[in-house]
């Protein structure tokens, strides 16, 4: 892509970001639940819970996170307290009763409690999830791939053998080829800071023991059905399959636009899909209002002659 094209693309994406990167759009995102807490251990635990459940319909995702948090609140003062006390046999029994009947897609309350046990073990061995992840990330790593592989491998090793096979669906690894949208989303929330993302692991955080930090330019774009197809429409990737290689390719394109903070447009791009603005067909009344329309190859193909892409037509 030529530098003039990069400049134009940046203008379109900046306009999209200024339309959607606002706190009022949090109610359409699982990140909203993390903002309910101010303690960093609560925040990282709720962020992990919210991100691993972030697949499928956004209303159902939010309902399932809300329900898990309400069940925890029945027997504890905070998510941190609930998770720490899972080391006590009597409390674990109560927690099992509280999560009886919890279901989200393939997952039962047993899977959620297993996830909390992994968080508890990370806290007990490293101090925090941040310290666990940062122990696996090298400052010279170009991106989070090898640290994410290491974290998931360790968690898989710690998982109780009795857990259902569906539990592992919560923890995909780049090694499986998956785009790992949920892991990348969790890391975006922790690794960049603005009014929406928390940046707990990227800046001064007194709760972390590690001196190491996660840089925003080590993050990988969380590709899901919305950001994936819009990335394809915009030519950020030529891959048909939304796998790990596609996530790397999209991130590399976005790094040309913003080398310091390539995932900063993720939230805004995702709104086009989550809010059902960008539909899977060309809609003149919508596409003509869309900030991305001048560079959208899909819109151009669907309406030849009407919408020449100023990005890719020369
Ligand atoms: S121009 Fe239309 S198809 Fe392209 S991203 Fe915008 S809404 Fe979607």
Residues 226 and 246 occupy one common structural domain: yes
13 Cβ inside 6 Å of ligand 1: no
Shared domain for 142 and 257, answered yes or no, is: no
Which atom of ligand 1 is found nearest the CA of 296? 4
| pLDDT confidence tier of residue 306, bands split at 50, 70 and 90 | low
pLDDT tens by residue, 83-120: 999 999 999 999 999 999 999 999 999 999 999 999 99
- 311 CB near ligand 1 (under 6 Å): no
Tens of pLDDT, residue by residue over 64-85, are 999 999 999 999 999 999 999 9
* Residue 127, in any domain of the structure: yes
Q: How far is the CA of 150 from the centre of ligand 1 (A)?
A: 37
The answer on 270 and 142 residing in a single domain is no
Asked whether 230 lines ligand 1 (CB < 6 A), one says yes
In the predicted structure, residue 311 carries a pLDDT above the cut 70: no
Predicted local distance difference test score (pLDDT) of residue 79: 98
Report the CATH number that the domain containing residue 252 is assigned in CATH: 1.10.1670.10
- Span of 114-118, 128-132, 182-186, 292-296 with lowest mean pLDDT: 292-296
Instruction: State the residue range of the domain holding 277.
Output: 1-29+221-314
- Examine the fold and report which residue of 126, 156, 178 is the final residue of a domain before the chain moves on: 178
Nearest to 294 by CA among 279, 311, 313, 273: 311
Whether 140 and 80 share a structural domain: yes
Nearest CA to ligand 1 atom 8: 278
Evaluate: CB of 303 within 6 angstroms of ligand 1: no
Query: Is residue 292 within 6 Å of ligand 1 at its C-beta?
Result: yes
83 with 169, same domain: the answer is: yes
**Interatomic CA distance for residues 298 and 227, integer angstroms:** 14
Out of 123, 153, 178, a domain closes at: 178
Residue 133 alpha carbon to ligand 1 centre in Å: 36
Atom from ligand 1 closest to the CA of residue 292: 6
**CA 221 – ligand 1 centroid, Å:** 19
Residue 280 is predicted with a pLDDT of 84
Q: Would residue 197 count as lying in a domain?
A: no
CA neighbor of 152 nearest in space, from 127, 190, 186, 109: 186
Residue nearest to atom 3 of ligand 1 (CA): 299
Residues 6+ apart with CB under 8 A from 7: none
296 in ligand 1 pocket by Cβ < 6 Å?
A: yes
Q: Do 42 and 174 belong to one domain?
A: yes
- Statement to judge: residues 279 and 314 lie in one domain: yes
Cβ of 278 below 6 Å from ligand 1? yes
Domain ends where: 178, 194, 209? 178
In a domain, 130, yes or no: yes
> Does residue 207 sit within a domain?
no
pLDDT in tens, 5-23: 899 999 999 999 999 999 9
Whether residue 310 is found in the same domain as residue 235: yes
> How much is the pLDDT for 139?
97
Asked if residue 16 belongs to a domain, the reply is yes
On whether residue 132 sits in a domain, the answer given is yes
- The predicted-structure confidence for 256-289, as pLDDT tens digits, reads as follows 999 999 999 999 999 999 999 999 888 889 998 9
Residue 211 domain flag: no
Asked if residue 271 belongs to a domain, the reply is: yes
pLDDT at 313: 42
Q: Compute, in angstroms, the gap from residue 252 CA to the centroid of ligand 1.
A: 22
Q: What is the pLDDT of residues 153-190, one digit of tens each?
A: 999 999 999 999 999 999 999 999 999 999 999 999 99
Domain count, the chain: 2
């Amino acid at each position: 892509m030529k530098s003039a094209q990069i400049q134009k693309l940046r203008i379109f994406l900046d306009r999209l970001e200024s339309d959607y990167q606002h706190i009022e759009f949090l109610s359409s995102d699982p990140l909203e639940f993390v903002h309910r807490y101010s303690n960093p251990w609560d925040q990282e635990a709720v962020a992990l819970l919210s991100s691993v459940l972030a697949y499928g319909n956004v209303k159902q995702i939010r309902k399932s996170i809300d329900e898990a948090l309400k069940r925890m609140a029945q027997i504890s003062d905070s998510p941190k307290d609930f998770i720490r006390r899972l080391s006590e046999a009597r409390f674990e029994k109560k927690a099992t009763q509280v999560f009886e009947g919890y279901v989200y897609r393939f997952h039962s309350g047993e899977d959620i409690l297993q996830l909390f046990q992994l968080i508890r073990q990370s806290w007990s061995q490293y101090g925090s999830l941040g310290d666990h992840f940062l122990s696996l990330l090298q400052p010279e790593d170009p991106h989070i791939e090898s640290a994410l592989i290491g974290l998931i491998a360790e968690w898989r090793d710690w998982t109780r053998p009795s857990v259902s096979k569906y539990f592992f669906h919560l923890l995909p690894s780049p090694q499986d080829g998956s785009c790992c949208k949920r892991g990348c989303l969790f890391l975006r929330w922790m690794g960049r800071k603005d009014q929406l993302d928390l940046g707990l692991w990227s800046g001064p955080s007194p709760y972390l023991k590690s001196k190491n930090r996660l840089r925003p330019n080590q993050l990988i774009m969380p590709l899901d059905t919305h950001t994936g197809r819009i990335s394809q429409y915009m030519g950020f990737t030529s891959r048909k399959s939304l796998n790990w290689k596609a996530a790397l390719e999209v991130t590399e394109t976005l790094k040309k636009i913003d080398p310091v903070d390539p995932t900063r447009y993720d939230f805004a791009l995702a709104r086009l899909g989550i809010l059902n603005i960008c539909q899977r067909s060309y809609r003149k009344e919508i596409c003509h209002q869309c900030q991305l329309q001048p560079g959208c190859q899909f819109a151009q193909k669907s309406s030849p002659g009407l919408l020449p892409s100023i990005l890719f037509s020369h």
